[in-house]
Structure 1
Amino acid sequence: MLRSLSEWFWQESLWFPKGLGWADLQDQDGRVYAKTADLWVALPIAFMFMIVRQLFERTVATPLASLMGIKETVRRKAPPNRTLDHHYCTVDRSPVKSSLEELCQQTGWTDRQVQRWFRRRRNQDRPSLLKKFREASWRCVFYLLAFIAGVAALIDKPWFYDVKQMWDGFPVLTLLPSQYWYYMLELGFYSSLLFSVASDVKRKDFNEQIVHHVATIMLISFSWCVNYIRAGTLIMLIHDSSDYLLESAKMFNYAGWRNTCNYIFIVFAGVFIVTRIIILPFWIIYWTVVFPLTMYEPFFGYYFFNGLLVILQCLHVFWAVLIIRCALRFLTENEKVDDDRSDKDETDESGEDEEEDDRKTKICNGPTQNGHAHNNHTNHTKTD
């Protein structure tokens, strides 16, 4: 059964235009072509990236964060309580008034004590600024290096200037060493992001990010198998051209460098709109949808490849709307830029406990002047 399924999956009519097949991609006369088996190389590369990331975050990102004024946040942990923990994990992280009253009866705690417990419990699950900074710095470095590598790999290629030439001789297109490593490193990196998604910062567009990673991995893998490599390298370069700007803006945002963050974000917004809303659909997708039909009849691979591109383009439009909204707020109202696309986390409440404790300390000690307490005005209150 598995053999029959494999034969059906790899049949040439699904992957190639009529009259072409796997035999056309066999190495001969010193010409080397992409092999499906090469994709397995991405797995060890993905695990290598995960290891390198851990080393980078500890030895580079953490000291850099310290230089930029970011320190590890020490948060108070919520005391163990099975009743509240069960409600937190299975019902609601922010209980409504009716639930609070019921929880107070079950635990014997006051309303304020229950609210404080949930506040501290939520803070335990929120990523710290240091964690978010380290993640952003790692992605920033990779996207920047990948963009530089992509430019170096494509700058001397004729299809970089004339997109039509990426189909010349298809599918018998010789694989270059630069294309091989560019593909494997990109595929390995996106695979590592998918593997680590559970431990990374979970943002508001978590589902969209999963769809993006899966579609990107499928797009890279499929384009490799059917030798759409020239189109694939152009698409990867377009994506890398703006991502490092977004991650660098996040880094400065976490460090509190407001002006630097805002201006980098505006540059990022411009590059994102030009590359993914203009160049990608009207320069790349156009030539992958329209021009191939002048060379061969449509086949499953044609629809599958362009379908994945359409999915990515829909995500780009979704993100572009959020990005433009952020940029307009800054340009028209001079407000602080918040990344509505993926980084607008719930407000950290860790400081509220400290403020509450400070308030109670002042009440207990009485108002002070010049460092001396006025004992005749001292008030004592019962603490939670």
Structure 2
Amino acid sequence: MGLSEWLWYHKYWLPPGATWEDMKDSADMHYPQPQDLLLCIPGALLLIIVRCIFERTVALPLGRRLGVSDKLRPKVQPNATLEGFYVLLGRTPKEGDLISLAKQSDLPVKKVETWFRHRRAQDRPRLMKKFCEASWRFTFYFTSFFSGLALLYDKPWFWDHTVCWLRFPQQPLPPTLGWFYLLELSFYCSLVATLPFDVKRKDFKEQIIHHIATITLIFVSYCANLVRFGMIVMLLHDASDYILELAKMLHYMKWKWVCEAVFIVFAVVFIISRLVLFPLRVLYSTYYYFVTKFQLFLISCVINTFLMILQLLHVFWSYLIIQMIFSVILHGAKRKDARSDTEESDRSEAEDLAKNKE
């Protein structure tokens, strides 16, 4: 058995009794074909190009019109010694390093410490960059969610999860659902490709795990013709994502009370969709049917494993969301995003600017 034949061996991908012969296209029926997913590569590249155009021609002018502006940051004086340490050894030197660098640069330790704070501030993403990123994700998630809802609202299996499994895996694939699947896969591939250039947040590692789990589930569920179940998973995720991006945009616009109201709506939708509907409609359904109705096969184990990874991430993010609501909104604590990308406070930056003006 060659590598390709071993990789696509039907007993790995399909329940016992089903073969790839059962999934061959006919004149009036189309089934998911793994090679279709190769289109996600040009699809991801196209979305990156569309995103760049959108951020420059739509999000940037919109942000300026809505009053989003970048704060003036203190300028960093060129210093080859300090810059070399910053690039090669670390952005936050320890006390011993500060003393050593001060001697090498013939500067007071305090000035060396200030130089590094200014240099870190210089590398922090600008407010307008964050607004543009949030605007793009809001536009995609909003369009994706309501498009998916329009595609699924009249499908009986959308309302009754037991219908998702009727005649599985011999379920014809409507062209619209196939293109929707491809669009979602292309989008998440584009997010992975742009991660090094996007705003880096505290949950960066969790985001990588989430994207990998999502891409794996989309790929595997398409190849195994679990498109019905996959559509429900994607819709449940998109239901709250666009609300979060809207809350971020309002935060960058400094519309405090509107932002907090939208964030609370996001929290409610997130918890209902991820901690109630996802376990009841997805986890229970896949576990129950794969264990009781079908004999276990490799892909069923993979799918359930990655679904559990997503659910653990849902619990982690729910904890952060609830913590933020209680500490910031209800108790009036100092506003600080649980997924913030900032390292220095705006206050210290403002103090440095004031000193420079004196």
Could you list the per-position Cα deviations for residues 255-275 of structure 1 after superposition, in whole angstroms to 9, with x for gaps in the alignment?
111101111000000000000
1:219-298 alignment to 2 at 5 Å? Answer: 219-298=217-296
The equivalences for 1:136-175 within 5 A come to 136-175=134-173
Aligned to 1:304: 302
The secondary structure found in structure 2 opposite 1:290 is helix
Which residue identity lines up with residue 117 of structure 1 in the other structure? W
Amino acid at match of 1:354: L
| Residue number in structure 1 paired with 2:356 | 357
What residue number does 1:374 align with?
none
Q: In terms of Rg, which structure is larger?
A: 1
1:121 paired residue number: 119
The Cα offsets for residues 157-198 of structure 1, whole Å up to 9 and x where unpaired, read as 001110110001100000002211110111111010000000
**CA offset at residue 46 of structure 1?**
0.8
Distance apart, 1:97 and its partner CA = 2.6
Q: What is the rounded CA distance, in whole Å, between the counterparts of 2:190 and 2:329 in structure 1?
A: 36
Number of residues paired by the alignment? 356
1:345 alignment partner in structure 2: 342
Q: Following the alignment from structure 1 to structure 2, what is the Cα–Cα distance between the partners of residues 163 and 357?
A: 64
Q: Distance in 1 between matches of 2:70 and 2:55?
A: 13
| Structure 2 residue matching 1:271: 3-state secondary structure | helix
Q: What TM-score comes out, normalization by structure 1 length?
A: 0.89
The residue type paired with residue 94 of structure 1 is T
Q: How far apart in 2 are the matches of 1:321 and 1:45? A: 34
After superposition, the C-alpha distances for 1:31-69 in whole angstroms (9 at most, x for unaligned) are: 110100000111111111111111111111111111221
Contact 1:327 1:337 (8 Å CA) reproduced: no
1:87 positional shift: 2.0
* RMSD, aligned CA: 1.6
Once the 2 structures are TM-superposed, how far is the Cα of residue 93 of structure 1 from its aligned partner? 1.7
CA distance in 1, matches of 2:72, 2:219: 43
The Cα of 1:218 is off from its aligned counterpart by 0.7
Aligned residue type for 1:61: A
Q: What amino acid does structure 1 have at the position aligned with 2:77?
A: P
Range 343-352 or range 173-182, more displaced: 343-352
Amino acid corresponding to residue 53 of structure 1 in structure 2:
R
1:38 to 33, 36, 56: 36
- What is the identity, as a one-letter code, of the residue corresponding to 1:280? F
Give the AA of the match of 1:131: K
- Give runs of aligned pairs for residues 177-216 of structure 1, distance below 5 A: 177-216=175-214
The match for 2:8 is 10
Deviation of 1:111 after TM superposition, in Å, equals: 2.0
SS at match of 1:130: helix
Amino acid at match of 2:186: G
Taking a change above 3 Å as real, the CA distance of residues 329 and 155 of structure 1, as seen in their structure-2 partners, is same
| Percent identity (aligned) | 44
What residue number does 2:69 align with?
71
Q: Distance in 2 between matches of 1:339 and 1:241?
A: 21
Q: Deviations over 1:144-168 (max 9, x none)?
A: 0000111011001001110110001
Query: TM (normalized to structure 2)?
Result: 0.95
Amino acid in the other structure paired with 1:139: R
- Amino acid in the other structure paired with 1:79: Q
C-alpha distance in 2, partners of 1:336/1:123? 20
- The alpha-carbon deviation at position 286 of structure 1 amounts to 0.5
Unaligned runs of 5+ residues in structure 2 are: none
Tell me if the contact between 1:253 and 1:261 (Cα under 8 Å) persists in the aligned partners. yes
What's the CA shift for 1:326?
A: 1.0
Kept in 1: contact 2:73–2:353 (CA 8 A): no
Letter in structure 1 aligned against 2:340: D
Q: Does 2:96 match 1:102?
A: no
Question: Which residue identity does 2:69 align to in structure 1?
Answer: K
Distance in 1 between residues matched to 2:84 and 2:11, nearest whole Å:
54
Query: Which residue identity lines up with residue 101 of structure 2 in the other structure?
Result: L
Asked if the contact 1:323/1:339 (under 8 Å) is kept, the reply is: no
SS at structure 2 position matched to 1:175: coil
How has the CA–CA distance of structure 1 residues 338 and 357 changed in structure 2, closer, same or farther, with 3 Å as cutoff? closer
- In the TM superposition, what is the alpha-carbon distance from 1:292 to its structure 2 partner? 3.1
